[in-house]
Amino acid sequence: MPIVVQKYGGSSVADVEKIRRVAHRVKQTRERGYQVVVVVSAMGDTTDELLALAKKVSADPPRRELDMLLTCGERISMALLSMALQELGVGAISFTGSQSGIITTDAHSQARIVEVRPYRIEEALAKERVVIVAGYQGVSSQREVTTLGRGGSDTTAVALAAALDAEACEIYSDVDGVFSADPRVVPEARKLDSLSYDEMQELASAGAKVLNAQAVEFAKARGIVIQARTAHAQGSGTAVREQGAPTDPRVRGVTAETEMAVLAATVESGRVASLLGFLDARGVRGRALAFDGLLGREGRVFIAVPLQDVHGPEVLQRELGEHFGGAVTWCEDVGAVTAVGAGLNADWSYLRRALGVAEHLGARVHAVHTSPLQLTLLVDKQHLKALTLGLHRDFLGT
């Protein structure tokens, strides 16, 4: 029988009743003639609650111990879903990431999958069982429990789909696919029937919550088509797949990133490289938004750091001061608004229009980043919603 991998996010398994609903959906998939592997996130806000508990003990929890703690959330979900399926008369078994053969790097809190050895999953499928896998986690070559960073359950699902040669990889959440903007911010945002891997990865890396950027990267490398759908109803969702190059430039979506800090460093000999080494040593990811400085004048580099994977921001901020003094500043009062689309920067028209919208709203633009698929404006957080709405209406015509 063909294999389907389904992933259910935390909101889809937030309580016992929702877990029962997921169990019924999985049973229906099984009855359609599929072998099913289910990847689950922790229930509701469990991960945040566990993280808050850790913070009461330590301002900057050791990453190994944090991984040991946070992986408990997915283990609860997987066991409860297996119980719910068995109550429905469906044979099921739950596995942790390590039991599933998910081998990762040894970077605690932000590990990457390097190999999948799904022997136990294959054995269970051969016995006609539904397999439930704890998402977001794996085991390193040093036999240490690791986590994949926020949203890592998506990556678990895609990696398993590739390893099992699955027919489909379905990612279920609260919304029916990927929208051109967050509907809570842009009421007229429209659902996108399909996106290319590159477009989806750019949206995800810029703050869109529906899919994890690393999962999309993994899907592209393995040629896995992702279907993003709602867990609460029937819908067509959004397909993320390889697509031909568009003939005309167009914007596909606009998204904002709010949970971030911006590091601003003066550009002097060796300082930026030293700062990047400092961040690498602490497992702090980020992206450079802009370099300024011309013809020998002192300039600055802006580095946007998503805060969701920085588990000790106060400690990091203090260490930055100890290492770099006033040469590196930390700011949480700014955020980024990003438009994504192929050919977006083929000429200056979209950047001109974006700057015009920002000026009309009275939003000061601190920095700009452009790439073949992305246009990002760094502005004060108080302007993020208005600028997202304004750019969506200007670029997408609604």
Annotated domain spans of the chain: 3-173, 254-396
Alpha-carbon dihedral 210, 212, 213, 217, rounded to 10 degrees: -110
d(CA 382, CA 326): 26
Residue 56 among known ligand-binding residues? no
Q: Which residues fall within 8 angstroms of residue 352, CB to CB, at 6 or more apart?
A: none
Residue 209 among known ligand-binding residues? yes
Residue 47 among known ligand-binding residues? yes
Q: Which residues fall within 8 angstroms of residue 24, CB to CB, at 6 or more apart?
A: 88
Residue 9 among known ligand-binding residues? yes
Specify the pLDDT at position 311: 81
Residue 136 among known ligand-binding residues? no
Residue 184 among known ligand-binding residues? yes
Specify the pLDDT at position 58: 93
- The tokens describing 217, both together, are 């990267």
Residue 8 among known ligand-binding residues? yes
254-396 CATH pick, 3.30.2130.10, 3.30.450.40, 3.40.190.10, 3.40.50.1970: 3.30.2130.10
Q: Which of these, 85, 78, 93, lies nearest to 27 by C-alpha position? A: 85
Residue 10 among known ligand-binding residues? yes
Written out in words, the top-level CATH class of the domain with range 3-173 is alpha beta
Q: Which residues fall within 8 angstroms of residue 45, CB to CB, at 6 or more apart?
A: 10
Residue 177 among known ligand-binding residues? no
d(CA 390, CA 398): 9
d(CA 290, CA 78): 43
Blockwise average pLDDT, block size 10, the chain, 398 residues: 95 95 96 97 94 93 95 97 98 98 94 95 98 97 93 94 94 90 92 93 88 89 91 84 74 92 80 87 78 57 84 88 88 93 88 96 91 92 97 90
Q: Which of these, 378, 271, 281, lies nearest to 332 by C-alpha position? A: 378
pTM above 0.85, yes or no: yes
